[in-house]
Copies of this chain bind each other. A is one copy, B any other.
Amino acid sequence: MKHILLIGAGKSATVLIDYLKQIVAQKNWQCTIADANKKSIEEKIGTSKNVAALALDILDDFTRKEAIEKADIVISLLPPHLHFLVAKDCIIYKKNLLTASYIDEKIKGLEKDIQHNGLLFLGEMGLDPGIDHMSAMELIHDIKNKGGKISSFRSHCGGLIAPESDTNAWHYKISWNPRNIVTAGAAGAIYRSNNQVVQISYAQIFSSGELIDFPNLPPLAYYPNRDSLSYIPLYTLEEATEFIRTTLRYPDFCTGWQKIVEAGLCSDENMFDTDQFSISEFLQQAFAKKNIAIHNLLLQKQLEELGWNDSTKLNRGIISYAAVLQHLLEIKLALVPTDKDMIVMLHEIEYQLNQEKHRITSSLSVKGDNALHTAMAKTVGLPLGIAAVLILEEKITLTGLHIPILLEIYEPVLEELKKEGIEFQTAESRP
């Protein structure tokens, strides 16, 4: 009887927990779901006989080690900096480990131990990173196998609001960590264009992108992700003269957010007294201080929706501008329980084959069911759940420290994702 341990049962775990419940019932396996908040797990798992809830303080070595020792495979949905604690125990007790997070230097330091013990540690196994890697590599390998030579690779992904739930002038609601929205782009971006390295500063980033066509949606805007260059060797695309990974938003979001950045609202450098001054005073003084004109009607509407005329005080003491903005997003752009979010992903690849130019686009769009079963939770959780099953059933037998860029991983996982309704639409054309 196989035993899956899931550590971390927060917002993005809802769909994964449902998937695991179904799998263990069907296969008569066992699953333990561990989180600091036992009540919240119990609410999520209900009364499933093969699924147990475990109250786990992750710093409690004894309970953590005991849980990992009992499991056959471990999935960690903990905040990224905590995976290392789990990873070390997985080596001691010889357990495979899956996460949806970027592989950091500390985990990389375990690579030899992972190999030496014949284990598989699979990171970046969520949406972005995760599904983006798998779907891109499938396309890239297909083209290369045909003898094609890729000249341009552009990959876009965004967590948006579905059109039917889009009720504000930002065309955006909060479906993931709001702090990441506030700090998005702050480190600038670097990518390859015209075979040159292009660097974009924070000041330019939200006005730097162009529009793209996405099937069945109005044109979308993108802004470049932090560091595209490091993906060139992973994707084996040294040959490409264009290489960029981006984030998708509705165009109005980018034009409005550019002004929010200019007004300094995303900065942790300035502090604001939320007891003394109102939301409207916060927004109005910040724009006045930077002399930013707000004649634009769209911007006026967007600022109004953030609280330009809201005379209430946040009553949270002294917090940074960025922390005030985060609160405004949380209260003004929240998902209501029936809202559906939407994940969109688009790869655009140009390549030469038999002296001819080809262009392929491959797109994915996934909608959430509601504010709890979000598209975000589906696309982050399902790849992890599917990979866990494939590894336990020895359909994936790879060992070492990996991200899902290898055929042995992406082929069976993408196949299973299709059965769950997560399927790319691909179109070929000759430009």
A31 within 8 A of B: no
If the complex has contacts A275-B179, A309-B60, A312-B79, are A320 and B322 also in contact, measured as CB distance less than 8 A? no
Provide the A256-274 mask, 1 if CB < 8 A to any CB of B, else 0: 0000000000001001010
Determine how close the nearest CB of chain B comes to the CB of A371; give it in whole angstroms: 14
Question: Are A317 and B82 within 8 A (Cβ)?
Answer: no
Of B182, B311, B323, the contact of A319 (CB 8 Å cutoff): B323
* Residues of chain B lying within 8 A (CB to CB) of residue A273: 268
Kindly report how many copies of this chain are found in the complex they form together.
2
**A395 touches B (CB below 8 Å):** no
CB-nearest residue of chain B to A319 = B319
CB of A59 within 8 A of CB of B275, answer: no
Q: How far is the CA of A177 from the CA of B312 in the complex (A)?
A: 13
- Provide the A328-358 mask, 1 if CB < 8 A to any CB of B, else 0: 0000000010000000000000000000000
**In whole angstroms, what is the CA distance A163 to B408 when docked?**
57
Q: A79-B313, A177-B315, A268-B318 are in contact. List 15 more A-B contacts (CB 8 A).
A: A57-B310, A59-B311, A60-B309, A79-B312, A82-B311, A82-B312, A179-B316, A182-B317, A268-B317, A271-B318, A316-B323, A317-B322, A317-B326, A319-B319, A323-B323
In the assembled complex, A207 has its CB within 8 A of some CB on chain B? no
Q: Which residue of B lies closest to A82 (CB)?
A: B311
A430 contacts partner chain B, Cβ-Cβ < 8 Å: no
A-B residue pairs in contact (CB < 8 Å), sample of 5:
A36-B312, A58-B311, A59-B311, A81-B311, A179-B317
- Would you call A81 and B182 a contact (CB within 8 A)? no
Given A179-B275, A271-B271, A280-B59, check contact A323 B317 (CB 8 Å): yes
Instruction: List the 6 closest pairs (A to B, CB-CB), nearest first.
Output: A179-B315, A319-B319, A317-B322, A268-B318, A318-B320, A317-B323
A271 to B39, CA, bound (A): 32
With A317-B320, A317-B322, A319-B320 as contacts: A310 and B81 at CB distance below 8 Å: no
Which of chain B's residues has its CB closest to A177's CB? B315
Which one of A82, A273, A310, A317 has the greatest number of beta carbons of chain B within 10 Å? A317
A328 to chain B, nearest CB (A): 13
| Residue from B57, B58, B59, B81 in contact with A313 in the complex, judged by beta carbons closer than 8 Å | B81
